[in-house]
């Protein structure tokens, strides 16, 4: 069964739809799907280029492991990163980490020329678990606006799409 999620920037009222890549990242897709909805403050990447993301508590008791990994995400890639204990985190996100367990970074890449290279961590591959199939253009515009204007007050919401939602998006 083909499954889709909706990703929204709630303040800007912008949404897109992503297809789960269940053949390429089955464990990651299962963990994300079971844990939806997920919502958190938006951050814009400092080094990866055209990425917005949110940090959420762990989605499962067991991490899905490495699947469909990349360090060069393309526009429309939706990625999962496990951030182990000790990872540098924004102050506002530190309380989300369960003691000794780490966090999850759910990221949306909205434009070209991305490289997951951190000056402090080196190469930081993540799991590509979905690809945006509707609304990438508005997400790109919003991502650039967040880069220029800032992310204060913006939230990123990931939720499952049901049959009625699929019809709204022209996918059923």
pLDDT tens digits for range 48-89: 899 999 999 999 989 999 999 999 999 999 999 999 988 887
Q: What dihedral angle (degrees, nearest 10) is formed by the CA atoms of 134, 135, 140, 146? A: -130
The CATH number given to whatever domain includes residue 88 is 2.40.100.20
Report the number of distinct structural domains present in the chain.
1
Q: Classify 17 as helix, strand or coil.
A: strand
| Mean per-residue pLDDT of the chain | 94
Residue 112: predicted pLDDT: 97
Task: Name the residue with higher pLDDT: 164 or 120.
Answer: 164
Question: Distance between CA atoms of 67 and 111, rounded to whole angstroms?
Answer: 22
Q: Classify 33 as helix, strand or coil.
A: helix
Q: Classify 47 as helix, strand or coil.
A: coil
pTM of the model: 0.95
Residue 137: predicted pLDDT: 98
Q: What dihedral angle (degrees, nearest 10) is formed by the CA atoms of 118, 120, 126, 130? A: -50
Residue 48: predicted pLDDT: 87
Q: What is the mean pLDDT of residues 124-128?
A: 97
Which residue segment(s) compose the domain that 68 sits in? 4-168
pLDDT bracket for residue 107 (50, 70, 90): very high
């Amino acid at each position: 069964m083909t499954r889709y999620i909706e990703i929204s920037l709630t303040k800007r009222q912008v949404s897109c739809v992503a297809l789960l890549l269940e053949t390429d990242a089955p464990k990651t897709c299962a963990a994300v799907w079971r844990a939806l909805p997920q919502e958190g403050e938006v951050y814009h990447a400092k080094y990866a280029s055209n990425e917005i993301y949110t940090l959420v508590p762990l989605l499962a008791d067991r991490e899905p492991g490495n699947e469909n990994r990349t360090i060069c995400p393309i526009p429309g890639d939706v990625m999962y990163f496990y951030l182990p204990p000790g990872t540098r985190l924004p102050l506002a996100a530190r309380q989300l980490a369960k003691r000794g367990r780490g966090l999850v970074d759910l990221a949306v890449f909205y434009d070209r020329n991305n490289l997951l290279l951190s000056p402090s961590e080196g190469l930081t591959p993540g799991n590509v678990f979905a690809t945006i199939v509707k609304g990438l253009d508005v997400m790109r515009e919003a991502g650039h606006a967040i880069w220029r204007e800032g992310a204060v007050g913006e939230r990123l919401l990931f939720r499952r799409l049901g049959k009625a939602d699929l019809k709204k998006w022209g996918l059923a």
